[in-house]
Structure formats: structure tokens, C-alpha cells
Structure 1
Amino acid sequence: MEYTSGAASWRKVLRRAVGVLLPRRRRPGWSVGVPLIAAAAGLLFTTTATTAGGTPLREDRRPQLTQLIEDRRDQVAASEKEAARLRAEVEEQTATLADTDGPIKAQRDRAVASRQAAGFTALTGTGLIVELNDAVRRPDQPLPKGASNDDLVVHQQDVQAVVNALWAGGAEAMSIMDVRVLSTSAVRCVGNTLLLHGRVYSPPFKIVAIGDPTALQQSLSVSAGVREFRQAAADYQLGYKETVNTVTVPAFEDSTALQSAKALQ
């Protein structure tokens, strides 16, 4: 039996430990790559779980979007009702003060004189009615050759093209779906529905403009966007109709606060 000193024993232990941790032969590449791949996969799974928040990532969330729009529409209706009540209260108090205060009366008369130009009064006159509608087809009816489902519905740019052309044609007042719009009103589409001032509308979309019918129709005929929709209407049976008539445009009832503005250079 061989005896060794304590120092020698510790040196042997250290050499063996170093031999295990740092082997002389280089490890194969896969022995290093496997832990890295496993770590990356774990990070990916963790990120996916965090993003999903406990819900399926591929779940169809269109019903949630529809419900959200409905909830916001109810909120807008309640806010509009409250705003109308407050406006009536302000008008009443202003009228009372105007009877005894000269400056207030002068400003009130000035505001009243500007109401029509600002769109706060209903107008009636000769004008043009433009109606846009999705293509009418049965569920079992095949798509037209070379067409997709997007080709068979009215899009945001189609409505905007008509509105812009009517303004360019000298429209004095305009409404969309019987809602007064101004030059600053925004038209948005959600699917095949129209979102205007917090309300959702389904086709057909009716646009009414007061002005010279000849000038309005001429402006529509030279608009590139309107011409494209007319061609699509002929190809895919979308609805497009212009009607000259005596029309009424309601007063503007939405908020007058500017959301953004840019000074002309």
C-alpha cells in the first residue's frame, strides 16, 4: 500500500477535476449546439405564451372587434345626448345674458350669423344624391371571372373619391347616411361597413350634396377614383346611381373641436 502526503493528494484531485472540466479532445459541435437550440426554443415558447395572454393566437377576433364598435357607439350616443343637453343650457344662459349685456349680445349675433356657413343649420335646395352599394349575389353564386371578394364591396377610397369630387364640384353642404359632414370630417371603413362620427353604417351608402347638379356631375365624371368605381360597378355588378332632386342636408351635430391642424406654408 502506497501512502502519499496531503499536498500530493490535493494535487491529484485538482488534476482530475481540471481533466473533467477541460478535456484534451475538443467536444463535437452538436454537443455545444444542442443546449443553445434548447435555450432558443424555450425563449420562443415563453415569448409566444406572453403574447397570447392565455388566448389562442389564431383565434378569429372579428366578433370582439364588432362588439367593441357596438360598445363605443353606445358610449358616443350617450356622450352626444349629454353634449346636446349642455349646449342647450349654454344657449339658454347666453340668451338670458344677451338681454342685459351688450358685448355678449354682439358676439351672440355674430355667432348666429355664422351658423349656416359653419354647417350648424339644416339646408334644403337642389342637389345630387349618389348611392354606392356592394354587389348583390347569392351565397352559392360563383365569383365573376378574375374577381375576388374585395372586388365586390364598396371600400373607403370609393366613398372618399365621391365626397372629394362633390366638394371639388362646388357642393355647398353635404351629408353621408343623413349625417352632416364638413370638409374636415373623416370617412373610415371597418370591413364593408362605414364608420362616421362614431357610428357604424352598412351599405348602400347614400351621399347627398346641395349645389349645381351639372357642376357636381361634371366633377364626378372627371374624378379618377369615381371612374374606377364606375368601371368596377360595370364589371362586377356593384351599385352606383346618381339622382338629381331637391334634397335636405341636416345640421352638423358632432364636436367642433379640431383634432389636428397644419398651417399653410
Structure 2
Amino acid sequence: MSGPASVRRERWRRRLADAWARRRTTRGERSLTWRLATPAVFAGAGVLAVTSAISADGIDLRAERYGDLESLARQQTRQVQSLQQRASELRTEVEELTAGVEDSRLDELEEQIDLLRGPAGLEAVTGSGVTVTLDDAPSSARDLIDGTTVTLDDLVIHQQDIQAVVNALWEGGAEAMTIQGQRIVSTTGIKCVGNVVILHGIQYAPPYEISAIGDTETLLGSLSTNPYITTFREYVDRYQLGYSVAVEGSLDMAAYDGSTEMSYARPVGSRPVVLDEDL
């Protein structure tokens, strides 16, 4: 029989055969993909587990396990105590090794260090000098702002004002200096944040007292002739800022006991500076 019905049946047979062939091909490709992907997933999970273990270094990284901050604080305290003990052991070891070194060059360097401790601010000193006090304008001075170009910034002491006084005193031969009772050294930074000044990590509000030990007449002369101080005193008269200088018969300044390590920036790609060992 070769009628239209037989032709239609033949077409359906071919379509079914093609569909079956495509299904077998697709199934094989999916099976291959799963066979390759499954090991890769397990390998990635293993790598993550090992990385977490190394990063933790014995510390539980799952914060949700801590029922309260007290448990975490105790754990951190134990770690800090362990590190402090290790640091103490290393310092003792360094001291023992240093004591065992017999070198005249080392003895000379230690003597030079002892001589520099005073100028570096690492020893307490006492002597005569001056104290400069800077203060913001009184609250009544805010009336100057109404209808004028005067702003609140004009009525407060800024870090550059304090720094100007410090520089003038150094130029006048100051041997030692303090701000708010803190000893000033070469690494001291004065930073203004809002209406307070940060010095060695501590916030201070005005008035600011800058004391310097040295020849009184020379210090006073430097303050009176410094061009920045001269300009600043014009602002003192104009905006009622506080500025006073007092001669001190005796000033006691404690030694600086903070860190003397320096931090500095280096352009990306530049080579580090290598110091000559003979210096």
C-alpha cells in the first residue's frame, strides 16, 4: 500500500528516529558535563576549607559561636598575654646577646645615644622659660558674625596658630618644650579636628598652653619679631582671641615616653632608601 496514509506513517517514523537520536546525544553531553563538574566542585570546597583553617590559625572564625563578648574578650586576652610573654622572652634574649658583644664601636654608639637622649626629649629637664597661652574668642564675640564676613573659624584657635608659636620658640633657642604638659619631640604632630586639637593621640580643648625652657629674653624676642605671630596678634585684637605670654622662673618637663618610631610614605614603584652602614 502506497497511499497518503503510508507516506504519513513513514514521516512519523523518521521524526521519532531523529528525536530519539537527539535525546541520546544530549543525554551523553549532560552526563559528561556532570562527570567533569562534580569533582571540580568538591575540589573547590576542599581548597576553601584548607584556606579557612590556615587563616584561622587555631582561632574560631565563626562569630556566631560566641554567646557573648566576654568569651571573645577572654580568648583575645589569652592571645595577647601569650604574645607579650613571647615578646618579653625575645627582649631578654636580645639583651643577653647584646651584653655578650665586646665591641668598642658598639660602646661608642651607646655613648652617642646617651648624649642625644636629652636633645631628643627623652630625659626630664627643669629650667626657666616662658609659657604662651592661646584661647578661642569668648562667646560674646559671636556678635561680630552678624552682617559681616566674619565666620566661626575666625574666632577659634587652629593648629597652624599653635604650630607658629612652637616654631617661633624653637627659633628662639628653646631647649625643651611642652604643649598641654606633653613633651614635644621631633615626631610630634599637631592636628586640629573640629574645635579640639589632637596631640600624641589625645584630644585637648582650649586654652592651649605652650611652655618652653630657654633664655627668656631670646624667647620673648623671637615671639615679638616672628612675622606669623605678628599677623596672628592682629587677629587677636580684631576677633578677641586669647593670647598671653608669661615668664616662668622654673618649669619642670617630664621625659617623652611615647613611641619614637616613624611612619612615612613612599611613591609606588620607588626603591627603598638604603642607609650607609658607616653613618
Shared fold per TM-score greater than 0.5 = yes
State whether structure 2 residue 187 is matched by structure 1 residue 221: no
Deviates more, 1:253-262 or 1:212-221: 253-262
Match of 1:192 among 180, 186, 195: 195
Offset, 1:143: 2.7
Offset, 1:259: 2.2
Q: Which residue of 2 aligns with 1:135?
A: 137
Which whole-Å CA distance do the structure 2 matches of 1:163 and 1:135 have between them?
21
Amino acid at match of 1:191: G
Which whole-Å CA distance do the structure 1 matches of 2:222 and 2:181 have between them?
22
Match of 2:173 among 170, 175, 181: 170
State whether structure 2 residue 125 is matched by structure 1 residue 123: yes
Match of 1:230 among 233, 237, 240: 233
Bigger radius of gyration: 2
Identity %: 40
TM-score, normalised by the number of residues in structure 1? 0.57
Does the CA-based 8 Å contact 2:179-2:209 persist in structure 1? yes
Unpaired runs of 5+ in structure 2? 1-82, 267-272, 274-279
Which whole-Å CA distance do the structure 2 matches of 1:180 and 1:92 have between them?
32
Which whole-Å CA distance do the structure 1 matches of 2:155 and 2:92 have between them?
47
Offset, 1:247: 1.0
SS in structure 2 of the partner of residue 127 of structure 1: strand
Q: Which residue of 1 aligns with 2:254?
A: 250
Which whole-Å CA distance do the structure 2 matches of 1:174 and 1:96 have between them?
37
Unpaired runs of 5+ in structure 1? 1-81
TM-score, normalised by the number of residues in structure 2? 0.55
Amino acid at match of 2:151: S
Does the CA-based 8 Å contact 1:129-1:206 persist in structure 2? yes
State whether structure 2 residue 249 is matched by structure 1 residue 212: no
Offset, 1:213: 1.3
Which whole-Å CA distance do the structure 1 matches of 2:98 and 2:242 have between them?
53
Does the CA-based 8 Å contact 1:144-1:236 persist in structure 2? no
Does the CA-based 8 Å contact 2:187-2:260 persist in structure 1? no
Q: Which residue of 2 aligns with 1:62?
A: none
RMSD: 3.3
